[in-house]
Amino acid sequence: MSQILVVDDEVGIRELLSEILTDEGHDVVTAEDAATARARRDNARPDLVLLDIWMPDTDGVTLLKEWAAAGQLTMPVVMMSGHATIDTAVEATRIGAVGFLEKPIGMQKLLASVKQALDRAPRRGSVLSLAAFPRSAALKDLRRRLEQVSGKSRLLLLRAPAGSITELAARTLQPPGKAWLDLSHDSHPLTLDLMIQSAGGVLYCSELARLTRLQQKNLAFAVERLEKHNLRLIAATVMDAAQLAAQGWEEDLLKVLFDVSIGLPSLAELKDDVPDLATHILTQLVEAGEVSNRHISVAAQNALRQHAWPEGYAQLKSVVKSLALAALEEEIGAEDVQHLLTPGAAALPEIPPGLLPEMLTLPLREAREMFEKLYFQHHLRLEGGSMTRLAEKTGLERTHLYRKLKDLGLRNATKENEE
C-alpha cells in the first residue's frame, strides 16, 4: 500500500490516525512538529501527507508554502484542523493542498479523503521559485517587487542582462498547479481554446529578440486577451524598444510590452546565492526522479559560487543536472565541478606540500618568482583561464597582468581567454 506521513502536535491524534491507516494496510510515519515533518518527508518520500495547521514551531500552511516554493510539493497534502477558517482552507488549496479534514476526524471521512488524495494523478515535480530563498536579501527584495507589480498589471517585462535569472523570477508569479505556456517554444498559432484551458496560468517568453514572426503574432494575440481569460504574460529581453523596432517589431506592441518593467540582476551579481540555488535545483531534480539522490559538498558549492555563469540560471540548472547524473559518489565534489566547468584546468599543478620550507632557503628574488608563478597558476585554474576575472581577482591592470604572465612563462596569458 501507500506510505503516509501524519503530522500533528497532539499525540492522541497521531496514534489514532496511525492505527486506523495501518489497519487499512498503509505504512504510516508520524511527526509532532514541522521540524520533524521536514526530516521525515525528506527521508520517507511519502505518497501522502496529512498535515495539521496549528503546530507549535511552524504552522502547517507555512510548511506547505515552504514545500511548494522549494519544489518539494511532489505528493498530495491533506490539511487538518479543528479551528481553521474558510479563508485558511482556501489559502491552503491555492498553495497546493488537495483536501481538508475538520477535527474531530471521523473514520469514514478520513478513509474517503485518503483514498481520494491517493487516487489523484501523480504529481509532477513542483517548480522552483524565489519564495524558496527567504534568507537572501536580494532575492527576497526581488520577489516582493515582482509580486507588488504583478498585483497591478497582468503584463510584466523583465529587463534581463545576459546571464540572468529570468525563468526563476517568472516562475515566482506562476500560481500552484496552473498552466505555464512558453510562447518562445511554440511554432503553432495560439488559439482561444488553448488560452481558455490555461486560465489562471502564465504565458512566458524568455527573450523577445528570438521570437519568429508567428510567435510575435501569438504574443500580440495574447496581449489583447489577458484580462478576459485570466492570464498573465511575463516576457524578458536584453534589448531596448528601439533595438527590437529595428528588428521589425510593431511599435504599438512594443509600447504595450515596455509599459511595465522590472530590472533583474545577473547570476554573477548573485554569486553568494549560487550555492543555495544549486542545492535547491538538485533537490528538485531528485524529487522529480530525474537524478539519483545526491548532495553537493561545501567545496563544490564554493567552486560553483566562483564561476561567472555567462548563460545565467539556465546554465546553472544544466550544470547541476550534469553533475548529479555523472557523479560516481553520492557527494558531488569540487573536482567534479572543475572537470565540468573548466576541462583541462585541473591538470595545472597544485601547490606541492612542503614547498614553503624549500622557498625559505632560496634567495628572495627566486623565492618571489616561484611564489608568483604558483599564485597565478592557481588562480588561472580557478578562473578557467579568464583574463577578465583573473585581473579582477589579482587587482592588476590588464597590460601589467599580461606582461607578468609572459615573464613567468605561463602559456595561459593569451588574448583568446579574455572572457
Per-10-residue mean pLDDT for the chain, 419 residues long? 92 94 94 94 90 90 89 88 81 89 91 90 69 91 95 95 92 89 89 94 95 94 95 96 94 96 94 94 87 92 91 94 94 91 59 67 84 82 73 82 83 47
Quick one: residue 105, left, alpha or beta (phi over 0 = left, psi -120 to 50 = alpha)?
A: beta
Closest CA to 61 of 80, 48, 44: 80
Q: SS3 for 208-269, per residue?
A: HHHCCHHHHHHHHHHHCCCCCCCCEEEEEECCCHHHHHHCCCCHHHHHHHCCCEEECCECHH
Within this chain, do residues 99 and 146 fall inside the same structural domain, yes or no? no
Rounded to whole angstroms, the Cα distance separating 74 from 252 reads: 42
Residues 328 and 242 in one domain: no
Select from 70, 126, 69, 79 the least CA-distant residue to 103.
79
CA proximity to 189, closest of 208, 228, 217, 224: 217
Whole domain around residue 405: which residue ranges?
Answer: 355-417
Please tell me the total count of domains within the chain. 4
Residue 345 lies in a domain: no
CATH at 276? 1.10.8.60
Residue 349 belongs to some domain of the structure: no
- Residues 256 and 153 both lie in one domain: yes
CA distance 207 to 306: 26
User: Do 113 and 225 belong together in one domain?
Assistant: no
Q: Look at the pTM and tell me if it is higher than 0.85.
A: no
State the DSSP code for 362.
Answer: S
Cell of 406: 609572459
C-alpha 25/C-alpha 2 separation (Å) is 8
> Are 104 and 177 members of one domain?
no
206 is a domain residue:
yes
Does residue 287 contact residue 126 with C-beta atoms inside 8 Å?
yes
Task: Flag whether 377 is in a domain.
Answer: yes
User: What is the Cα–Cα distance from 232 to 255, expressed in whole angstroms?
Assistant: 17
Do 30 and 91 reside in the same domain of the chain? yes
Domain stop point among 119, 143, 159 = 119
134 and 75 in a common domain: no
Whether 179 and 156 have beta carbons less than 8 Å apart is answered as no
Cis, bond preceding 104 (omega within 30 deg of 0): yes
Please provide residue 413's backbone torsions phi and psi, each rounded to the nearest 5 degrees.
Answer: -80, 65
Q: Which of 249, 269, 248 is nearest to 258 (CA)?
A: 249
Count the residues in the chain.
Answer: 419
Domain co-membership, 53 together with 140: no
Q: Determine contact, residues 101/80, Cβ cutoff 8 Å.
A: yes
Is residue 348 included in any domain, yes or no? Answer: no
Tell me if residue 189 falls in helix, strand or coil. coil
Q: Is 247 domain-assigned? A: yes
Please count the other Cβ atoms lying within 10 Å of the Cβ belonging to residue 151.
Answer: 7
Are 225 and 248 found together in one domain?
yes
- Using an 8 Å Cβ cutoff, are 47 and 75 in contact? yes
- Residue 19 inside a domain? The answer is yes
Residues 111 and 141 in one domain: no
CATH number of the domain residue 28 falls in: 3.40.50.2300
Residue that terminates a domain, selected from 90, 119, 148: 119
With beta carbons less than 8 A apart as the criterion, state whether 315 and 349 touch: no
SS3 content of the chain, % helix, strand, coil (to 5): 50, 10, 35
Which DSSP symbol is given to 164?
B
Inside any domain, residue 324: yes
**DSSP three-state, residue 49:** strand
Cα radius of gyration rounded to whole Å, the chain: 26
Output the domain CATH number for residue 375: 1.10.10.60
Considering the domain architecture, whether residues 168 and 243 belong to the same structural domain is answered as yes
Domain finish residue from 97, 119, 141: 119
- Say yes or no: 90 and 185 in one domain: no
* CATH number of the domain within which 226 lies: 3.40.50.300
Instruction: Tell me if 51 sits within 8 A of 79, measured CB to CB.
Output: yes
